[in-house]
Amino acid sequence: MTRVSFNKALIMRKNGTADASTMYADEIYTAGFCYGLDVAVGESYNGVDGVNYYVVALARTSSSDLSLLEMHERSSCHPGMRTTVGWTVPIGFLVNTSQISVDEQCNFPHAVGDFFGYSCVPGVKDPEHDPKGNNPRNLCEACIGDENDRHICANNPRERHFGEAGALRCVAENLGDVAFVKHTTVFDNMQGKNQESWALDLELEDLKLLCPDGREANLFQHESCHLAVVPTNAVVVRLEDKCRVYKFLERVQSMKFSLEVLFLHISGQRSVNYGQPDVLFSDSTKKLLRVMGTYTSWLGHTYTTILKAFECEEISLDAYQTDEFDSNKVRQHHIIPEEMSRDGC
């Protein structure tokens, strides 16, 4: 087993020097749409399905005139620039509901800045995301920086509205109308789990969910009121290898080996000795599920549709195929060698 960057993983999958690689949900879309790869198995954290988390829109209960279908000139709180929860899902939703449109240059920051009155999108002014320095300033106006008013809109915890807890704080402190977070964010920061004063003063009754159809719901109704369901990681393969890779992984799993033993079987070393968690599969994986359909069936219709909203962006699909791409800036992927299994279906 080899640990490589995303671009190298795609190349190795494409030229057949590896059987499979584990990928995140957004990367699965790129691998399938751009490279014709598919999914053999996916991780399950509950042993039943491939749900990772729900992306929800949080608002204060006292905000009685809010609707996700009428967000123009409202204020928004985002965990970070280019994150699935804070950018891809909510902005994709706004595009797909025709609330914002993108120009020929595919300039999403400008479209978002024109749409919202003001926001906090940590990192939106970083050179990595704003090389020309002209991203709208109002996308940082709901940010507050650190205790000394420095690092405003920074893409790190020094900005106190950074991350999901920061986006929740942004709404709790009435600096934004809506926050885009995971369905677990509120519960992760209440009942003493977050000792900051803003969290200690927060009650479940203070917040509500905004639904894609314009409805409202309570915090426990995320399964019927969410922007998208983001699936777990999955094993990406060539179409002709799909059944063979599944049979290998299923055979090992059926022997009632733990995934730790599966890792040992493939790599010859224990994950604890590999030096980090989530080596081959996520540590929270309880079962591997066979994916009978295509990669889009694993991603789900809603999430796939959201990702399609960004197809005009020329982020690096070409760069993934060049030597100039900085592999140190992408997440690492784990490749299973071609010799993993010679069993056919």
| All domains of the chain in start order, with CATH | 2-50+232-340 (3.40.190.10), 53-229 (3.40.190.10)
Looking at residue 9, its pLDDT comes to: 54
- Residues 79, 35: contact at Cβ < 8 Å? no
Q: Are 264 and 256 in contact (CB under 8 A)?
A: no
Q: Is the pLDDT of residue 257 over 80?
A: no
Higher pLDDT, residue 25 or 255: 25
Write out pLDDT tens, residues 88-117. Answer: 999 999 999 999 999 888 999 999 999 999
Provide the residue type at 292 as one letter: M
Query: What is the average pLDDT across 139-160?
Result: 97
Residue 131, CA distances (Å) to 125, 136, 140, 224, 229 in order: 8, 13, 16, 39, 32
The whole-model pTM stands at 0.84
Average pLDDT, the chain: 84
pLDDT exceeds 90 at position 40: yes
Question: What residue type is 189 in one-letter code?
Answer: N
User: Is the pLDDT confidence value at 77 over 70?
Assistant: yes
The candidate with the shortest Cα–Cα distance to 338, out of 7, 12, 5, 3, is 12
Residue with tokens 């507050």: 144
pLDDT over threshold 50, residue 314: no
pLDDT confidence tier of residue 57, bands split at 50, 70 and 90? very high
Band of pLDDT at residue 191, cut at 50, 70 and 90 = confident
Q: What is the CA radius of gyration of the chain?
A: 21
Looking at the DSSP bridge assignments, the partners of residue 22 are 235
Among 108, 64, 80, 70, which residue's Cα sits nearest to residue 170? Answer: 80
| Overall average pLDDT of the 303-328 stretch | 61
Separation of alpha carbons 231 and 54, rounded Å: 9
**For residues 304 and 29, what is the distance between their CA atoms, to the nearest angstrom?**
8
Q: Which residues contact 305 (CB under 8 A, 6 or more apart)?
A: 92, 96
Please name the amino acid found at residue 130: D
**Residue 251 scores a pLDDT above 90:** no
pLDDT at 104: 80
pLDDT at 345: 63
